Amino acid sequence: MGHLESVPLFWRRMKALYTLTGVECSNCGEKYFPPRLICPECSGKEMKDFKFKGKGKVVSYSIIEVPPQGLEYQTPYGLAIVELDEGPRVTGQVVGCTLEEIKAGMRVEATLRKIIAINKAGVIQYGFKFRPEGYPVFNTEVT
Amino acid sequence: MRKVAVVGIGMTKFGELWDYNLRDIFTMAAIEAMDDTGCTTKDIEAFYVGSMSAGRFVGQEHIGALLADYTGLKHVPATRVEGACASGGIALREAYFAIKAGEYDVVMVGGIEKMSDLPTTEEVTTTLGAAADQEWETFMGLTFPGAYALIAKAHMNRYGTTREQLASVAVKNHKNGKNNPKAQFRREITVEQVLASSVVADPLTLLDCSPVSDGGAVAIVASEDVARKFTDTPVWITGSGQAGDTIALHDRKDLTTLPAAKFASERAYSAANIGPKDVGFAEVHDCFTIAEIVATEDLGFFPAGEGGKAAEDGLTEVDGQIPVNPSGGLKSKGHPVGATGVAQVVSVVEQLRGEAEKRQVNAPNIGLTHNIGGSGATCVVHIFSR
Amino acid sequence: MQNGTCGIVGYGSYIPRFRIKITEIAKVWGKEGERIAKGLGVMEKSVPGLDEDTITISFEASRNAVNVAGIDPSELGAIYIGSESHPYAVKPSGVTIAQALGAVPVMTCADLEFACKAGTAGIQMCMGLVASDEIKYGLAVGADTAQGKPGDALEYTASAGGAAFIIGKTGREGCVATIEGTFSYTTDTPDFWRREGADFPMHGARFTGEPAYFKHIIGAAKGMMEKMGTTVADYDYFVFHMPNSKFPLRTALTLGMPPEKVKEGLVVRHIGNTYSGSSLLGLARILDIAKPGERILCTSYGSGAGSDSFSLVTTDLLPEKRKNAPSVDDYIRLKEYVSYAVYAKHRHKIRGIE
C-alpha cells in the first residue's frame, strides 16, 4: 500500500514512535498522545512537548489472527489498549511474554521494536511496543 | 419546515459480484429504485452517494460525478459523502437537509462499495483500517475485528456477556437473511458453528464478522409537496440525528458503549418526538455481533449490559419484543461498506410498506436505522414512519 | 590511554528470549545432537523475535547502559554500533538508537564491521574521542542477529544478543570500571567472510583455529599484559570471544590461566555465539558479579582478523550502579523454546518470506 511505503509519513512520527513524546496543554495541563495542536478540553492552542515514561497498564487486549498489511508473518500477536501512567491511552502490541500471559490490568513498559518492514528493500519502520514491566524479570499475575 | 419522505427504493443483491463493476452495480440499484416509483432520470434534481473507499478498492475517486453520469443524470449536482461505514446514512441525511431547506424536491440517495476487486484479505483489512486512526491504530496492527474484539472483551468483563450470546446474534441474523432474496448468505448457522469457526481477533471468530461484499442501494427521497406524485406509500423521515466521537478507540474512557450512537439516537428521538419504547423495529449496524448487542443498549432498547441476554432470549427476533435486523443485518445481508446505510433504509421502507414478505415484522409503524462509521467515531440514526 | 584516562560509566546487555536447543537443530540434519553440543560446550542458542533486529537489540542494551550510567542521553557525543548483521547495508544502525535515546542531534555516528570484534573497536574509538576531550561520553555497542547457513557447523551457535558500554573520563565521577589500557593485534587473515549481497558467510573450517582465532587472541592478550606490565596472576577474571566453550578454555590453558577465572564469562553455553556481542556480553556478566577492585582481562576476536584486548579494574561504584538495569543472567533465565521450523521463520531462512 502506497502510504505504508511513504518515508516522510513515517519519519515525521519518529519522535512520537521512538520516544513516546506527546504534548501537554499549557492552559489546562491535559496531556495527549499523539501530539495535537488544539486541546479538545479547553480549546487551548499552546501545546508543549511532553515525554511519557512509557509505563502503564493494559486496559483491554485481543489476539489478532488476521493482520493488516505489513504484519502478515507476525500473527498471532497481542494488541492492547494501554493506559499510560500519565493518563492518555495508546494502542500497541504486547511482546516479551507468551500470548497466554497477557492480561487486562497487567503493568507494562514501552520498548522499541520493528512495526513494519514492507519488503526487503524498503525503510524499516520502528516504533513502540509494550512488554511486562520489569522485563526480563516479571510476573504477569494481576494483583 | 416541510416533511421529507422516501418514495422509491432499490438495491442489488449483495455478495461477490464478479460480473459487475462499481458503476454498473450502482446503476442497477438506481434503475430498480426509479422503477419502484415510476420516476425517471429527468425527475432527479440532486444526487448524493455514500462510498467509503472507492479510491482504494478500485482506484476511482469523484464517484459522485461518475455515478450520476452512468445513472443517466445530466448536469445534476452530484456529491460523494464519506464517513467510513456510515457513508450511506450520512448521504441520506444530506439529502434530507437539502429537501427540508427547500433547495430540492426530489433527490437520489445512493450507497455503493465494490470490495472484491482487491485480491487479498490483508489489503482489504488495511483498506478498512483506514477508517480507524491510520497512524496510531492500524499501523500498530489494530484491525476492525481487533477493535470490536477489544469492545467485546470489555463488555464481557464488565457485564458477563458470553460468546454464546454474541453467537446468537449471528444465528438470528442468518435466520432472517435466509428470507431475504438480496442477502449474501441465505443459509442458517448454529451457535456451535459460530464458536467453532476460525478466530479472527479473539474472541471474535469468522462467523462473528460481517463479510466482504459488493453491492449498491438507492433511495429516492422527495418533499411532501411532490411525494404523492411518486407513490401511494411514502415513508416519512420523522427524525435524523448524527454524532461523532474520537477517531481512535483508545481515546474513549468506556469501551462498552459507543457514545456517538447514544447522542445520535437521542437527537433523532427528540426530532421525531418519540422514545426508544416507541420504536417498532430497527436495522442496526452489526458489523460484528458485539456491535449489535452494544447498539441495542446505546439505542435504549435494553439497559446497559443486558443486550447479550436479550439477544439470547429471542427478544430481537422478527417476532420478538423489538425486532432487530429483520433483513439479516450486515452479517447475513452483506456489508458493502458505503452501501450499508442506504440498504438499511431500503429494508426499513419495505417493512413499513408491508412488502417484506417472509421476514415481515408484524404491523410496524415506526422503524429506525442505526449506521456506524469506524469503531464508533460516527453514528447516524434515522427514524421512519408511515 | 595507558594510564587509565577512560573508564566504563555504564553498561547494559540484552538477549532475546527465544531459544533453540542444539539437539533440535541436529535432528533436522540427521546429526547426533548430544555429541555436537558436548563437543562445542554449547547447549542452546538465543533466537531473535520476528520484530527484533540488531537495532532493537542495541537499543535495549543501550537504554540499560544509560540507566546504569545515570547520565542524560543528550550528553552522548558519539554512538558506534558494531555488528555483522546491521539491518541496512547503507544507513547506520546508530542513528536509530541515537534518535530513540534522545542523543540527537549534536553527536557523531557511524556503523562498524569487523566480524565479531566490531563492538570492541567501537569502545576504542570512544576512548579516543573521550580522552581528547572532544566528547563527554561515547556509546559503543556490539550486537548481532547472526545468520548461520543451514546445515553448516556454525548454525549450531550463531545467535542473537548485544551489550552496550558508555565510555567517559575516569577523572569525572561515575566510572564503574577503569580501562587501564587497550592493545590490538590485527592482520589480513581470511578465516571467515561474507561478500556483499551473499546471504550467509563462508569460513575456512579448521583454518579458523590456529592461524586465526588463537594467533590473534593470544597475541592480543599477551601484548596487553606486556604493555601493562601485568601477569596472569594479577587478574581475577578473563573474558575471551566465545564462538563456543572450547576455544576460550583452550586459550586459557595455553596462557596458563586457571579455568575457574574464565568460567564466569562463558555465556556461550546458554545463548550461543552472539558474534559482535560475544566478548562484550561476557564482560557484562563479569561486571554483574565482580566486586570492587577486581581486575579483568577482556579480549575479543573478529575474523578477518583481529583482536582487541582491554585491561580493566572495577571501582567502588559498580555494585550500586549495576542495580539500575537487568543483569545478563536475568536475560539468560527468561526463555521460550522454539522448534527448528519456527526458528527458520524467525531467521528468514524460509523462501517466500520477506
* Residue A104 belongs to some domain of the structure: yes
Q: How far apart are the C-alpha atoms of C35 and B18, rounded to whole Å?
A: 60
Residues of chain C with pLDDT > 70: what percent?
Answer: 98
**Cα distance from A56 to chain C (closest Cα, Å)?**
18
Interchain pair B136, A72: CB under 8 A: no
Q: Does C105 sit behind a cis peptide bond, omega within 30 degrees of 0 on the bond before it?
A: yes
When pLDDT is averaged across residues C222-236 and rounded to a whole number, the result is: 97
C140-188 pLDDT, tens digit each: 999 999 988 999 999 999 999 999 999 999 977 689 999 999 999 999 9
* Residue A112 belongs to some domain of the structure: yes
* Residue A30 belongs to some domain of the structure: no
Residue-range domains of chain B with CATH: 4-119+212-235 (3.40.47.10), 135-210+238-385 (3.40.47.10)
Q: How far apart are the C-alpha atoms of C240 and C233, rounded to whole Å?
A: 17
Residue-range domains of chain C with CATH: 6-175+319-346 (3.40.47.10), 180-317 (3.40.47.10)
Residue-level pLDDT at C2: 47
Residues 105-164 of C with CB under 8 A from A: none
* Residue A41 belongs to some domain of the structure: no
Interchain pair B146, A60: CB under 8 A: no
C270 flagged as catalytic = no
B137-174 pLDDT, tens digit each: 999 999 999 999 999 999 999 999 999 999 999 999 99
Residue-level pLDDT at C310: 98
Return the SS3 of B370: strand
Strand partners, A21: A51
**A39, A63, A65: best mutation site toward chain B, by most B Cβ within 10 Å?**
A65
Strand partners, A23: A32, A49
How far is Cα of residue B259 from the mean position of the Cα atoms in its chain?
A: 18
When pLDDT is averaged across residues B266-286 and rounded to a whole number, the result is: 97
Q: Is the torsion defined by CA of A71, A74, A76, A81 positive or negative?
A: negative
Q: Is beta strand C177-189 parallel, antiparallel or unpaired with respect to C6-14?
A: antiparallel
Give pLDDT tens digits along chain A (143 positions).
678 888 999 999 999 999 999 999 999 999 999 999 999 999 999 999 999 999 999 999 999 999 998 888 888 999 999 999 999 999 999 999 999 999 999 999 999 999 998 778 889 999 999 999 999 999 877 65
Residue-level pLDDT at A73: 82
* Beta carbon pairs, A and B, within 8 Å: 104
Return the SS3 of A84: strand
Interchain pair B150, A81: CB under 8 A: yes
When pLDDT is averaged across residues B364-386 and rounded to a whole number, the result is: 97
Residue-level pLDDT at C55: 98
Phi/psi of residue B230, each to 5°?
Answer: -100, -25
Q: Which three cell numbers stand for residue A13?
A: 512520527
Q: Is the torsion defined by CA of C332, C336, C342, C345 positive or negative?
A: negative
When pLDDT is averaged across residues B13-29 and rounded to a whole number, the result is: 96
**Cα distance from A60 to chain C (closest Cα, Å)?**
22
Q: Where are the alpha helices (DSSP H) in chain A?
A: 7-11, 14-19
With residue C33 as reference, give the H or E element that holds it: helix C33-40
Of C6, C44, C86, C116, which is the active-site residue? C116
Which residues in chain A touch residue C87, judged by CB atoms under 8 angstroms apart? 124
Return the SS3 of A126: strand
Contact status, residue B161 vs residue B308, Cβ threshold 8 Å: yes
Q: Is beta strand B4-11 parallel, antiparallel or unpaired with respect to B235-244?
A: antiparallel
Contact status, residue C132 vs residue C141, Cβ threshold 8 Å: no
Eight-state DSSP code of residue B198: P
Residue-level pLDDT at B50: 97
C66-106 pLDDT, tens digit each: 999 999 999 999 999 999 999 999 999 999 999 999 999 99
Q: Supply the CATH number for residue A104's domain.
A: 2.40.50
- Kindly report the average pLDDT of chain C as a whole number: 95
Q: How far apart are the C-alpha atoms of A90 and B386, rounded to whole Å?
A: 46
Which residues of A touch chain C, with CB atoms under 8 Å apart? 14-15, 18-19, 73-74, 93, 95-96, 98, 111-115, 117-120, 124, 126, 129, 135-137
Rg (Cα) of chain C, in Å, rounded? 19
Q: Give the neighbours of chain A: at least 3 Cβ pairs within 8 Å.
A: B, C
Largest interatomic CA distance in chain A: 46
Q: How far apart are the C-alpha atoms of C177 and C166, rounded to whole Å?
A: 11
pLDDT class of B343 with cuts at 50, 70, 90: very high
* Residue A42 belongs to some domain of the structure: no
Q: Does B77 sit behind a cis peptide bond, omega within 30 degrees of 0 on the bond before it?
A: no
Residue C266: is its pLDDT beyond 50? yes
Q: Residue C51: which of A98, A114, A120 has the nearest Cβ?
A: A114
Eight-state DSSP code of residue C21: E
Q: Is beta strand C44-47 parallel, antiparallel or unpaired with respect to C18-21?
A: antiparallel
**Cα distance from B294 to chain A (closest Cα, Å)?**
17
Residue-level pLDDT at A3: 84
When pLDDT is averaged across residues B56-73 and rounded to a whole number, the result is: 95
Q: Which three cell numbers stand for residue B312?
A: 439470547
Q: How far apart are the C-alpha atoms of A86 and B65, rounded to whole Å?
A: 48
Residues 29-48 of A with CB under 8 A from B: 34
**A21, A58, A91: best mutation site toward chain B, by most B Cβ within 10 Å?**
A91
| Chain C residue with minimum CA distance to A17 | C100
Q: How far apart are the C-alpha atoms of C145 and C154, rounded to whole Å?
A: 13
Which residues of B touch chain A, with CB atoms under 8 Å apart? 121-123, 125-127, 129, 133-143, 145-146, 149-150, 153-154, 157, 198-204, 248-251, 255
Contact status, residue C11 vs residue C285, Cβ threshold 8 Å: no
Name the residue among A80, A107, A91 with its Cα closest to residue A20.
A91
Regarding pTM above 0.90, the answer is yes
Residue C200: is its pLDDT beyond 80? yes
Q: How far apart are the C-alpha atoms of A78 and C330, rounded to whole Å?
A: 24
Which residues in chain B touch residue A126, judged by CB atoms under 8 angstroms apart? none
Residue-level pLDDT at B296: 98
Q: Which three cell numbers stand for residue B33?
A: 429504485
Range B99-104, long-range pairs (CB < 8 A, 24+ positions):
B99/B2, B99/B4, B99/B221, B99/B222, B99/B223, B100/B1, B100/B2, B100/B4, B101/B1, B102/B2, B102/B223, B103/B46, B104/B45, B104/B46, B104/B223
* Residue A39 belongs to some domain of the structure: no
* Residue A40 belongs to some domain of the structure: no
Q: How many domains does chain A have?
A: 1
Residues 9-68 of C with CB under 8 A from A: 17, 49-53, 55-56, 59-60
CA distances from B46 to B92, B95, C91, C95 (A): 12, 8, 55, 56
Interchain pair A60, B129: CB under 8 A: no
Please, do chains B and A touch (3+ CB pairs < 8 Å)? Answer: yes
Please, do chains C and B touch (3+ CB pairs < 8 Å)? Answer: no
Q: Residue A64: which of B126, B141, B249 has the nearest Cβ?
A: B141
Residue C211: is its pLDDT beyond 50? yes
Residue pointed to by grid coordinates 497481542: A78
Strand partners, C310: C182, C298
Residue-level pLDDT at B272: 97
Name the residue among B108, B298, B301, B136 with its Cα closest to residue B220.
B108
When pLDDT is averaged across residues B368-385 and rounded to a whole number, the result is: 98
Rg (Cα) of chain A, in Å, rounded? 16
Interchain pair B129, A68: CB under 8 A: yes
Name the residue among B236, B279, B298, B217 with its Cα closest to residue B4.
B236
When pLDDT is averaged across residues B91-95 and rounded to a whole number, the result is: 98
Residue pointed to by grid coordinates 483508545: B250
When pLDDT is averaged across residues C245-254 and rounded to a whole number, the result is: 96
Q: Is beta strand B378-385 parallel, antiparallel or unpaired with respect to B366-373?
A: antiparallel
Which residues in chain C touch residue A96, judged by CB atoms under 8 angstroms apart? 17
* Residue A16 belongs to some domain of the structure: yes
Residue-level pLDDT at C299: 98
CA distances from B142 to A49, A64, A75, B15 (A): 26, 8, 12, 25
Residue pointed to by grid coordinates 541496512: C88
Which residues in chain A touch residue B155, judged by CB atoms under 8 angstroms apart? none
Name the residue among C92, C79, C272, C93 with its Cα closest to residue C165.
C79
Residue A83 belongs to domain spanning: 2-20+53-132
**A20, A21, A113, A120: best mutation site toward chain C, by most C Cβ within 10 Å?**
A113
